[in-house]
Amino acid sequence: MSAFPYLSTTIGTPLLGVAAIAVLPKERAALARPIALLASLVALGFAIADAVAFKTGGPRFQLSESYAWIPTFHVNYSVAVDGVALVLILMTAVLVPVVILASWHDADARGGALTPQGSPAESKRSVRGLFAQLLALETLMLGVFAATDIFLFYVIFEATLIPAYFLIGSYGGARRSYAAVKFLLYNLLGGLLMLAAVIGLYVASTHSPVGAAFSFQTLSKAVGDGSLTMAGSTEKWLFLGFFIAFAVKAPMWPFHTWLPDAASEATPGTAVLLVGVLDKIGTFGMLRFCLELFPHASHYFTPLVLVLAVISTIYGALLAIGQTDMMRLIAYTSVSHFGLITIGVFALTARGEVGATLYMVNHGLSTGALFLLAGFMISRRGSKSIDAFGGVQKVAPLLAGTFLAVGLSSLALPGLSSFVSEFLVLVGAFEKYPVAAIFGTTAIVLAALYILWWYQRTMTGPVASSVEGFKDLNRRELAVIGPLVALIVVLGFVPSILTNFINPAVSQIPAHVQITQQAPHSVAQDSATQGNGSGQ
Amino acid sequence: MPPSTYAPVAATGVFTLTAWVVALPMIGAAILLLGGKRTNAWGHLLGCLAALGSFALGAVLFFSLLGKPGDARSYDQHVYTWIPVPGFSADAGFHLDQLSMTFVLLITGVGSLIHIYSVGYMAHDDNRRKFFAYLNLFLAAMLVLVLANNYLLLYAGWEGVGLASYLLIGFWQHKPSAAVAAKKAFIVNRVGDVGLSIAVMLMYTTFGGFAFTDVFNKAPGADRDTILGIGLMLLLGACAKSAQFPLQSWLLDAMEGPTPVSALIHAATMVTAGVYLIVRSHVIFDISPNARLLVTIVGAITLMMGAIIGCAKDDIKKALAGSTMSQIGYMVLGAGLGPIGYVFAIMHLVTHGFFKAGLFLGAGSVMHGMNDDVDMRHYGALRKYMPVTYVTFGLGYLAIIGCPPFSGFWSKDKIIEAAFAQGGTSGWVLGCTALLGALITAFYMTRVMLMTFFGEKRWVEDEQGHEAHPHESPKSMTIPMILLAVGSVFAGGLFSIGSSFANWLEPVTGRAEGHSPINTTVLSVITLVAVALGVGYAWRLYGTRTRPVPALAPAGSPLTRAARRDLYGDAFNEAAFMRTGQWLTRLLVYFDLRGVDGVVNGVAAGLGGSSSRFRRLQNGFVRSYALSMFGGAALLIAALLLVKA
């Protein structure tokens, strides 16, 4: 228990913003924007304070707080972070103010990126609603990464669907209600399976010497020391309950089809949070819960998961190449990237886990920036179609330049942040599953294809008539994209800013998960002497 | 002599300047890119200064190295730990030895000259500042590539030069052809990058690391099949970067870039990175004869392909690009020969750097005077109008065909000799191929020379109706050409006096004498006869007054037609990869909509009773949503109560 409730303060700050927006009189609704920005920036400040307070040499979980919530069922409000959760909280706290600034005009009757012409729904686009929901979503996203009570995690996991559903359904494009419902159905279905598994786990714990518990640390320890044993089949079913929920969330082939629709119909800002943060709950959940609570089942299912992850990686990339809608294109690239993250998680090596965690953050930054840049283009042109653009670099060089920089990060160019994580994931997988890793390397080529072909079609060539008169990035847009590009570059050169937090967390994953921590066995020991002896 | 053991000492004193060799152009690029339009006025000067500063530091390092004994010229500089992860550590660290030193001087030396040349060449371009930013970026990445002390950092430089190449090929982005060529170059290179990245992963799993110290010292004790695998993956990377068969197709298109770019990146330096990679990894190839054999085969095939393509092109830059492919083929062949060839591969790389950069700058100078026309059928008689260009280009020409005593004679001759010295059938095949290549080189280069500078004027008006007024280029362009011509004339001879170049590199690569089945003097004479034949045949076709060069290309033989189409490299790629790729992508897009999504929607609709019901569900969903929330909550509580009881 820390003296100061760091995490609760961080999580609660956006809620204060929601309250402030709620009491705004209707005629001053426009104030919702600066209030939301301020609240999210304060939350970012607290998130940074969390990182400062976090001792990298200390115990695995820190900044813990725990209060009884439903004592009858041993449900607590328990929050704590390890390095993995901490960097995801930092990423969330960075992305939300950026998204708020990018969404500045999304609730306007006109000028919003996806405002359908003459849509009857315009009246429903309330400024206060948009920004209050973005903040509410931030609280939930911060909470879900911090929750160490499995029941609390589940509740927040499901609760994120509510603001996300309304953000897509109220502020999105023409087919927004179809997309929002599809999003909800998929995720509810996944959530139901997880609910069953959560209950099942609770039941299992009541029958064990540990006694009924929802605390992640207690359960993990019990699994590790053998006091909580499950029958093999029970463990497999529970694993699947969690895993499928997470595989829907971090869309994995074949559960991915909700994502392109949702990302394409949502406003760019919502898409950033949806793909950049909410989907990460899936991969985070696999790493945190699946591996640690169900170690045998994780090992049992690893081949299957890797096959699906490899399919996702290649399938998503090929689909991205075939898209004509920019938002759908980014969504499919994410399917590919989530495939790689999953490969990293299930590689079960320290390189893979660190790489997967870094990848979650880097993907949030670069894909977030791509969505926002696509949004800037869409708001200028009024079309999401790639064919509607051409020669943009001539009229808006800054837009084209930042787009290229962010795109290069997405294709994992060394020097930009994604390279570090992609290479770690691949090398971590290569140690144990070289075939999966080699299949994964096809992403190196395919990513170059979808990014550079997209760049070529929209940015180069003669200036399309519809693009003439395009304005370059304005100050607000620069303030949105600048910090992301700066982070992408800095983290490409100095990834240790994040690995300082992630490394100890991965090293402290309990032994029963059987993460390979050591470097691969080197030939040096056995052959150095022999090699010298027989040297030519 | 075998190479010295790889045991670099920590850099101290003057050798800590190594990092600054890289940092100067990197800072230059950063200032020019971030500074934006504010730096337009002086950006090109800053770019030149960064390059020259880097060269000056390189020279200081070179003379400091000379002050040390041959086996004590190996330094490591740790800058910072780039990627620290448990059981995995990637350093940002540099390794200075004779091999990397040679490249530093080549890159910064030729690089500086081309920076200066570009001041004049790009004077009228609105984006000149950006051009210099990219050139600086290229220098920084290329220096990282050759100075890295581990394979992951080398890989970073490797991809970095790929990026710079992409940006510079596509520098005139408003031209669709340039944008397409740039993308093609990047993507083909990424195929090679896959190879290199797998090689690094194999090194990591085999040696527990990918630092040169790990790899070079542990490789002799490793499993031979793994070593072969690493060698082949490195070769794949080298093939893409150095435009070797079967990944050669991007280089000819890369000529879309401004000519200084073609000279620096696509002739003198970046495309030779594959040769660097192989020679740097000589420990791997030393112990894997099969990998070496494949390297020589790739080199031999490419040297022939490039030469044949070079014969058929009317575009002066593409003729030279074919020649570059072919000359790098020689280097790869030399590197594949192992200890008998490493030093000569690098020596040819350096002399080629001089004369090919000079030839490209000459071509740029000609284009500058001819309204940017690249078609040699529209040239002719230019020697009278562009004397400096004519003389410098001519000296480069004499160097590349291997006319003694010019640079190319010394280095190419050694590779041909080493190929024969390989011995056995493969020695004869490789040697004869290299010999035939020398003949064809003499033919196509003479053709270029004659069509451009001799014969009748065949000048045409450009599209806007401007007549060609060929004139000599400004000093900022001719001086770099003159300096490169000096290198083309003297470098080879200088390197060969007392085998100075071979002795310099020997501690890094090791060196062995081969046993040529033919007396070396006889072989030199045979080579010269082959060159003379090539020159003579070209003279008959293009040099005599009786048969002027036709303004329109004749139909040509099937081989000529094939060579004009780059020996069907693109046609093959299109059929094998592009068409199947497009087909696969379209199929998957359809499958994703109708298949995966269709099934899910269908199931959902089926569960709902009918699709109209499903639609109603969507419309009234808020209510249903609330209901299912309540349902879920009720279910949860019931379940918990049950357990509790």
Which residues in chain A are contacts of B207 at CB distance < 8 A?
522-524
Which of A63-72, A186-195, A269-278, B568-577 is the least confident region? B568-577
Task: Using DSSP, state whether B385 is helix, strand or coil.
Answer: coil
The answer to whether position A534 is within a domain reads no
Provide the pLDDT for residue B460.
81
- For A409, the token pair is 């990060």
Q: Which of B159, B201, B206 sits opposite A523 (nearest CB)?
A: B206
Give the nearest chain B residue to A486 (CA atoms).
Answer: B34
Give the nearest chain B residue to A523 (CA atoms).
Answer: B207
Separation CA A67–CA A284 (nearest Å): 24
A8 pLDDT above the threshold of 60: yes
Q: Which of B173, B214, B643 sits opposite A460 (nearest CB)?
A: B173
Task: Using DSSP, state whether B347 is helix, strand or coil.
Answer: helix
Confidence category of residue A492, pLDDT binned at 50, 70, 90: very high
Separation CA A96–CA B611 (nearest Å): 37
Question: At B223, which amino acid appears?
Answer: D
Q: Say if the Cβ atoms of A444 and B589 lie within 8 Å.
A: no
**Which residues of chain B, if any, have pLDDT below 70?**
545-548, 551, 595-645
- Per-residue pLDDT, averaged over A326-335, amounts to 94
Confidence category of residue A408, pLDDT binned at 50, 70, 90: very high
A4 pLDDT above the threshold of 70: yes
Provide the pLDDT for residue A126.
85
Confidence category of residue A523, pLDDT binned at 50, 70, 90: low
Provide the pLDDT for residue B610.
42
Q: How many CA atoms lie within 13 A of A369 on its CB side?
A: 33
pLDDT digits (tens, 9 = 90+) for A186-203: 888 888 899 999 999 998
Chain A closest CA to B19's CA: distance in Å? 15
Which residues in chain A are contacts of B621 at CB distance < 8 A?
177, 180-181, 184
Domain count, chain A: 1
The answer to whether position A520 is within a domain reads yes
Query: Mind giving me the DSSP string for B211-275?
Result: BHHHHHHHGGGS-HHHHHHHHHHHHHHHHHHTT-TTS-THHHHGGGS-HHHHHIIIIISGGGHHH
Separation CA B612–CA B617 (nearest Å): 8
- For B337, the token pair is 């020969």
Separation CA A255–CA A252 (nearest Å): 5
Give which of B404, B548, B385, B351 is closest to B468, Cα–Cα: B385
Q: Are A377 and A326 in contact (CB under 8 A)?
A: yes
Q: Which of A195, A426, A463 sits opposite B636 (nearest CB)?
A: A195
Does the beta carbon of B81 lie under 8 angstroms from any beta carbon of chain A? yes
- For B175, the token pair is 């031209």
The answer to whether position A199 is within a domain reads yes
Which residues in chain A are contacts of B202 at CB distance < 8 A?
430
Q: Say if the Cβ atoms of A445 and B190 lie within 8 Å.
A: yes
Which residues in chain A are contacts of B88 at CB distance < 8 A?
350-351, 424, 427, 519
The answer to whether position A535 is within a domain reads no
Chain B closest CA to A364's CA: distance in Å? 20
The answer to whether position A536 is within a domain reads no
Which residues does B117 contact at the CB level (< 8 Å), separation at least 6? B260, B263, B361, B364, B476, B477, B480, B481
The answer to whether position A1 is within a domain reads no
Which residues in chain A are contacts of B175 at CB distance < 8 A?
461
Provide the pLDDT for residue B376.
85
pLDDT digits (tens, 9 = 90+) for A233-258: 889 999 999 999 999 999 998 888 88
The answer to whether position A485 is within a domain reads yes
Q: How many CB pairs under 8 A join A and B?
A: 205
Give me the domain span that covers residue A184: 6-529
Chain B closest CA to A517's CA: distance in Å? 7
Which residues in chain B are contacts of A73 at CB distance < 8 A?
640, 644
- Give the DSSP H or E segment for A185: helix A176-206
- What pTM did the predictor assign? 0.91
Chain B closest CA to A198's CA: distance in Å? 10
Does the beta carbon of B586 lie under 8 angstroms from any beta carbon of chain A? yes
A532 pLDDT above the threshold of 60: no
Provide the pLDDT for residue B640.
56
Provide the pLDDT for residue A536.
33
Preferred mutation among B4, B34, B83 to probe A, highest tally of A CBs within 10 A: B83
Query: In A286-349, where does DSSP find H-type helix?
Result: 291-293, 295-321, 326-347
Which residues does A527 contact at the CB level (< 8 Å), separation at least 6? B218, B220, B221, B222
A111 pLDDT above the threshold of 60: no
Confidence category of residue A504, pLDDT binned at 50, 70, 90: very high
Chain A closest CA to B142's CA: distance in Å? 13
- Give the DSSP H or E segment for B469: none
Phi, psi of A60 (to 5 degrees): -65, -55
Beta bridge partners of A516: A349
Q: Say if the Cβ atoms of A192 and B632 lie within 8 Å.
A: yes
A402 pLDDT above the threshold of 90: yes
Beta bridge partners of B93: B78
Q: Are A331 and B592 in contact (CB under 8 A)?
A: no
Provide the pLDDT for residue B603.
56
The answer to whether position A259 is within a domain reads yes
Q: Which of B204, B218, B604 sits opposite A427 (nearest CB)?
A: B204
